[in-house]
Amino acid sequence: MREKPAAGRILLSITGMYPQRWYEMLSKARSVVLEPEGEEDPTIEYAVVWKQKRGVLKRLPNLKVIFSAGAGVDHLLADAELPDVPIVRVVAENLAQHMVEYISWRVLDHHRQGITYRAQQAQKIWHEPPQPPANEVSVGIMGLGELGGAAAKALLALGFKVNGWSRREKRVEGVSTFHGRDGLTPFLNATDILVVLLPLTSVTEGVVDFSVLERLRRDGRLGGPCLVNAGRGRLQKEADILRALDEGVLKEASLDVFEQEPLDPKSPLWTHPRVFVTPHAAATSDATHLVPLMLEQIEAFERGEPLKNVVDRAAGY
């Protein structure tokens, strides 16, 4: 094992995820602390955080880089006292693979009438509903970034038509792309299954509301549009989703993320017959795969190389 340097210690501040594996993995290379020592701790140069304890980062006068333990950084940017140092977020094949699995699973389940078949099985009904092929169904991905882009590739390989919506103009092979406010309506109008993989920012908060769901294609081959949200819960308005389901605007939904997590036991989403709930588990950050990437970045940074996957604070992601 390598010598642990006295300086360049790492603060690990993780809540809402198990910190043990992060601690074990980081400790193989560096001295790791769970709390700064004293009012100000000058020995800590890096922080690895997920929903960090409020105020902990401002006690680190020599902090050089903050690593988010996840791809999203809304948990970090919500800290009003966040020090002005670069924030590096997770971009990793392992995470993208998990998200691709989740999105492919949910899209295929809606496409192949999983909810209908499970209801039929419960009543021992032998009936085959009409089943269009994938190339007659359009999946629209809101957020065509690292994860949305990987999902688009997998969905194209399954034969779906794929639309993508991003903030800036973008070209992705095989994908019909739309961007910005002006691109939203044509994107929604051409979409049967809406996949949400946006970051939560001041602009995207609440974007998945009734008016968005209402613009999805109603006369597509699936008999009604479906929603899959694996981005963030506060992107969606849950009352609007329930209304859209109950008014026939939306056929089905798969939700991995919620306005409040854990989802309140009283939420009607738990028991709605056309909603599939998972507990923010679409693509969980795995320390075994992610810590080596963080340590590589620290070493490269100390050799004077630029950091990768740095968050644009002004854009909020």
Residues annotated as part of the active site: 232, 280
Shortest-Cβ-distance residue relative to ligand OXD = 70
> Among residues 233, 232, 226, which one has the least CA distance to residue 107?
226
CB of 144 to ligand NDP, least distance (A): 4
Task: Please report whether residue 204 would count as binding ligand NDP according to CB under 6 A.
Answer: yes
CB of 289 to ligand OXD, least distance (A): 12
Please state, in angstroms and as integers, the Cα–Cα distance from residue 120 to each residue in 48, 123, 125, 127, following that order: 47, 5, 5, 8
CB of 259 to ligand NDP, least distance (A): 14
Residues numbered 161-200 forming contacts with ligand NDP, rule: CB under 6 A: 165-168, 170, 197-200
CB of 282 to ligand OXD, least distance (A): 8
Select 14 or 222, whichever has its Cβ closest to ligand OXD: 14
Task: Please report whether residue 143 would count as binding ligand NDP according to CB under 6 A.
Answer: yes
Among positions 26, 71, 115, 144, the unique one binding ligand OXD when judged by CB under 6 A: 71
Q: φ, ψ for residue 66 (rounded to 5)? A: -110, 130
Which single residue is written with the structure tokens 């769901």? Answer: 213
- The CA distance from 223 to 252, in Å, is 10
Stretch that binds ligand OXD, among 69-77, 167-175, 209-217, 221-229 (CB under 6 A): 69-77
Select 17 or 242, whichever has its Cβ closest to ligand OXD: 17
CB-based contacts of 70, cutoff 8 Å, min separation 6: 50, 89, 90, 285
CB-based contacts of 115, cutoff 8 Å, min separation 6: 109, 252, 273, 274, 276
Select 44 or 71, whichever has its Cβ closest to ligand OXD: 71
Among positions 12, 13, 59, 72, the unique one binding ligand OXD when judged by CB under 6 A: 72
Q: Are 256 and 281 in contact (CB under 8 A)?
A: yes
Beta-carbon-side half-sphere exposure of residue 65 (alpha carbons within 13 Å) = 22
> Among residues 227, 175, 218, which one has the least CA distance to residue 198?
227
Amino acid at 237: K
Residues numbered 72-131 forming contacts with ligand NDP, rule: CB under 6 A: 72
Task: Please report whether residue 144 would count as binding ligand NDP according to CB under 6 A.
Answer: yes
Q: Applying CB under 6 A, which residues contact ligand NDP?
A: 70-72, 143-148, 165-168, 170, 197-201, 203-204, 230-232, 256-257, 280, 282-283, 317
